[in-house]
């Protein structure tokens, strides 16, 4: 299911994502990892404008973002051209808000929306399933952003399944605080560290699916589901970057939250119950990680 908001707007919203549950079940022969993850987009993200042009080009307001062929937006554009034979071009203008190295999927979200926008610009040559296939070729978690809501992803992330409608409805709108320290964590490093712990760092596939089932049942029943949150990549991240588990422990003890890391990090998040003392929580984050820490209050989308 594609986001009509993205399709009908000349400026596309590129949401960040949170891994509410992330289990890694093993390493594949192609070097990727198999995983099972419940992923939810949020109402915080980037903006991508796409305008017809002779060739593909990318301009970004963040000078740290590579604007050359290594950027996933331009990789997505080339993949779209290869899949469709479209000879047109586009000028991409990216307003960047999702930090890099955060585990929030910013680059993948940008690429997915670039594909969606190009498909519109080219007159819709690719149906939804084909467009998702191209997205999966560009990056492991690109296709999930085309779903327009919370999903379960499997394989290396390219297999996307919608959550039951009632579960998705209960998740949408839930307040959440996202916070990231000044440092980043490289995704390849995190998975390499996890592989070095094998088999201890992996979760059996049956247990991973059982965790997803328990999560879905808890949300559907309206029960507390915060304790179902899980992230296998916290192990490598927390061992190297002690500032992460120290702050998360403080937030649990002081405010009764259930904070987790998203993806490979370094961004973390905490679901906010009604009446949560948000200013005090933000102050605690900044006291631990400094004024340069990113802190955003948003909602699951």
Show which residues are catalytic: 17, 141
Residue 109, number of CB atoms within 10 A of its CB: 28
260 SS3 class? strand
Q: Do 89 and 55 meet the contact criterion of CB atoms below 8 Å apart? A: yes
Distance from chain centroid for Cα 178:
12
Distance CA(272)–CA(281), nearest Å, equals: 10
- The count of residues in the chain is 301
Q: Which of 155, 180, 163 is nearest to 265 (CA)?
A: 180
Q: Which of 228, 242, 270, 198 is nearest to 24 (CA)?
A: 198
Question: Scanning the structure block, which residue is given the tokens 């839930």?
Answer: 174
- Could you tell me the two tokens for 85? 């034979």
Pairing of strands 11-27, 230-231: parallel
143 SS3 class? helix
Distance CA(16)–CA(86), nearest Å, equals: 29
- Could you tell me the two tokens for 197? 């712990």
Question: Scanning the structure block, which residue is given the tokens 């051209």?
Answer: 81
Distance CA(15)–CA(13), nearest Å, equals: 6
């Amino acid at each position: 299911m594609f986001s009509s908001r993205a399709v009908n707007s000349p400026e596309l919203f590129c949401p960040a994502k949170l891994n509410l549950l992330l289990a890694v079940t093993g390493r594949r022969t192609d070097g990727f990892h198999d995983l099972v993850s419940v992923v939810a987009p949020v109402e915080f993200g980037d903006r991508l404008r796409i305008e017809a042009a002779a060739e593909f080009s990318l301009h970004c307001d963040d000078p740290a973002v590579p604007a050359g062929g290594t950027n996933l937006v331009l990789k997505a554009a080339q993949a779209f051209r290869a899949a469709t034979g479209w000879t047109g071009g586009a000028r991409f203008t990216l307003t960047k808000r999702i930090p890099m190295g955060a585990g929030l999927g910013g680059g993948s979200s940008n690429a997915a929306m670039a594909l969606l926008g190009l498909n519109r610009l080219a007159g819709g040559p690719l149906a939804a399933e084909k467009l998702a296939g191209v997205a999966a070729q560009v990056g492991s978690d690109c296709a999930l952003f085309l779903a327009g809501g919370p999903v379960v992803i499997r394989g290396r992330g390219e297999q996307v399944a919608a959550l039951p409608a009632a579960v998705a409805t209960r998740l949408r709108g839930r307040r959440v605080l996202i916070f990231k320290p000044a440092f980043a964590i490289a995704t390849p490093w995190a998975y390499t560290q996890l592989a070095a712990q094998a088999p201890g760092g992996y979760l059996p596939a049956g247990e991973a699916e059982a965790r997803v089932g328990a999560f879905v049942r808890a949300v559907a029943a309206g029960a507390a589901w915060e304790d179902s949150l899980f992230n296998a990549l916290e192990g490598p991240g927390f061992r190297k970057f002690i500032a992460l588990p120290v702050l998360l422990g403080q937030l649990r003890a002081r405010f009764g939250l259930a904070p987790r890391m998203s993806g490979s990090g370094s961004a973390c998040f905490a679901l906010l119950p009604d009446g949560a003392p948000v200013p005090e929580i933000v102050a605690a984050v900044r006291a631990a990680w400094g004024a340069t820490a990113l802190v955003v209050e948003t909602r699951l989308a």
